[in-house]
Amino acid sequence: MSAILDHFGFHVRDYAKSKAFYGKALAPLGISMLRGDNWGMLGREGKPQFWIGEGGPPAGHTHIAFAARNREEVRQFHAAALAAGGKDNGGPGLRPYHPNYYGAFVIDPDGHNVEAVCHDPEAA
């Protein structure tokens, strides 16, 4: 299966605050800051796929879901995101989207709905 996106990015109000939030919240998913001057570029295995940056106002609220490799990563993401200042928007658990949809949701510093999700029933 090929990816349909190369990367995704948006402006944030407070770059330092958002950079700290995403750095901590996404660490349990194996996602880290790869570059980060005026645009923070986060990803896995050296490929930046999620970008946040300064230079303009955020363009409304959005939803973004990050792939977790197992359900434990979903739980760790949720805990890390809350500890980093995110607001709970749905704790870790199965969702009705399909039988193996296991996700957790938080609201980031700019009001975006951020999710970690695992679809593998064997990856408890």
Length of the chain (residues): 124
pLDDT of residue 72: 96
Report if residue 111 sits inside a domain. yes
Mean pLDDT across the chain: 91
User: Using one digit for the tens of pLDDT, what is the confidence trace for 58-69?
Assistant: 778 889 999 999
What whole-number distance in Å separates Cα of residue 39 and Cα of residue 93?
Answer: 32
Report if residue 97 sits inside a domain. yes
Report if residue 2 sits inside a domain. no
Report if residue 3 sits inside a domain. no
Domain count, the chain: 1
Report if residue 124 sits inside a domain. no
Higher pLDDT, 14 or 6: 14
Q: Is the pLDDT of residue 105 over 60?
A: yes
Q: At how many degrees (to 10) do helices 71-83 and 15-25 cross?
A: 150
Six-digit token string for 39: 């645009």
Report if residue 1 sits inside a domain. no
Q: Residue 36's domain spans which residues? A: 8-118
Report if residue 69 sits inside a domain. yes
CB 43 within 8 A of CB 33: no
- Looking at 45-59, 69-83, 92-106, which range is the least confident one? 45-59
Report if residue 14 sits inside a domain. yes
Above pLDDT 70, what percent of the chain?
96
- CATH number of the domain residue 81 falls in: 3.10.180.10
User: Using one digit for the tens of pLDDT, what is the confidence trace for 12-43?
Assistant: 999 999 999 999 999 999 999 998 788 899 99
User: HSE of 120 in the Cβ direction (CA atoms, 13 Å)?
Assistant: 11
